[in-house]
């Protein structure tokens, strides 16, 4: 088993935070070796290069051209309800088309890497993810390489299931459009296998690794009523503006998350 710490070392002098990128994300600059945690035992020091990337919304008002496309905030009961599967007769239905349209509006507005139906108040097993090629700039090339980012067009998954492959894990900062301005370290499986249906009810199966696996696990958790705060290292919780603040020395010595 191996653990990758994909968050920059916060024990070295910090660089100033750059202005937020246009895609609505909070990005910290890359650093040097960081501390990591084993999957089932007390954490130990480990080498790894790093950076942090968190989902960060720009605002909370829906687009004027889509009055139904509205994010629900943490505390809303819909975020804690396991979602129902989409039935065969519902593929192509007006309800599903409206959901997809609204999710597209939100993802465009907030330039989001991922979104799930319950975040719009719809308890169906539908999620979407993306990492656009235009986000991968020359400036971010080294960061993207360290995190294993792969340019991915917007993709919708229906009734997705995730199977963990192997025991390797990564630790990185996560945030959420439904949890305003907060982020924390979360441990995720490094490699997963995804099975799902697409919007045309065709079978989909693929393997995802590193940061793309993280995005997918985050979104599939939403479909189960699970938020990243349920999995976070609690002492690393901070506002987005404090994403580069030093981590507490004992954050990983708490019970394993």
pLDDT (tens, 9 = 90+) of the chain, 257 residues, equals 666 655 443 322 223 333 333 333 333 333 322 333 333 333 332 222 233 333 333 333 333 335 568 999 999 999 999 999 999 999 999 999 999 999 999 999 999 999 999 999 999 999 999 999 998 888 888 888 888 888 999 999 999 999 999 999 999 999 999 999 999 999 999 999 999 999 999 999 999 999 999 999 999 999 999 999 999 999 999 999 998 899 887 777 655 55
pLDDT at site 118: 98
CA-to-CA dists, residue 34 to 52, 123, 161, 229, 254, angstroms: 12, 39, 32, 22, 18
Q: Is 141 left (phi over 0), alpha (psi -120 to 50) or beta?
A: alpha
Residue 54 near residue 173, CB atoms below 8 Å: yes
pLDDT at site 64: 39
Biggest alpha carbon distance in the chain? Answer: 57
Name residue 186's beta-bridge partners.
172, 232
Residue 92 neighbours by CB distance under 10 Å: 10
pLDDT at site 97: 97
Q: Global pTM?
A: 0.77
Query: Which tokens belong to 40?
Result: 């089932």
| Residue 225 to residue 83: CA distance in whole angstroms | 7
**Structural Rg of the chain based on CA atoms:** 18
Q: Which of 257, 174, 183 is nearest to 215 (CA)?
A: 174
Which entry of 139, 174, 200, 219 is annotated as an active-site residue?
219
Query: Could you give all domains of the chain from N- to C-terminal order, each with its CATH number?
Result: 3-248 (3.90.45.10)
- Is 219 noted as a catalytic residue in this protein? yes
Q: Which of 38, 1, 12 is nearest to 253 (CA)?
A: 38
């Amino acid at each position: 088993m191996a653990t990758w710490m994909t968050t920059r070392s916060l024990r070295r002098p910090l660089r100033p935070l750059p202005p937020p990128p246009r895609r609505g994300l909070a990005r910290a600059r890359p650093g040097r070796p960081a501390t990591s945690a084993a999957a089932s035992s007390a954490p130990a020091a480990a080498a790894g290069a790093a950076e942090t990337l968190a989902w960060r919304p720009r605002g909370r008002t829906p687009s004027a051209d889509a009055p139904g496309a509205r994010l629900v905030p943490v505390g809303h009961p819909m975020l804690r309800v396991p979602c129902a599967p989409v039935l065969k007769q519902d593929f192509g239905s007006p309800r599903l088309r409206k959901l997809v349209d609204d999710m597209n509006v939100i993802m465009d507005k907030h330039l989001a890497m991922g979104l799930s139906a319950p975040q719009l108040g719809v308890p169906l097993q539908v999620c979407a993810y993306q990492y656009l090629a235009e986000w991968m700039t020359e400036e971010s090339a080294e960061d993207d390489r360290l995190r294993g980012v792969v340019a991915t067009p917007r993709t919708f998954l229906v009734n997705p299931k995730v199977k963990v492959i192997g025991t390797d894990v990564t630790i990185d900062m996560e945030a959420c459009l439904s949890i305003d301005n907060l982020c924390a370290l979360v441990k995720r499986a490094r490699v997963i296998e995804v099975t799902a249906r697409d919007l045309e009810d065709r079978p989909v199966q693929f393997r995802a690794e590193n940061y793309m696996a993280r995005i997918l696990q985050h979104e599939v958790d939403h479909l189960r009523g699970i938020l990243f705060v349920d999995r976070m290292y609690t002492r690393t919780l901070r506002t987005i503006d404090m994403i580069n603040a030093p981590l507490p020395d004992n954050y990983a010595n708490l019970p394993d998350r």
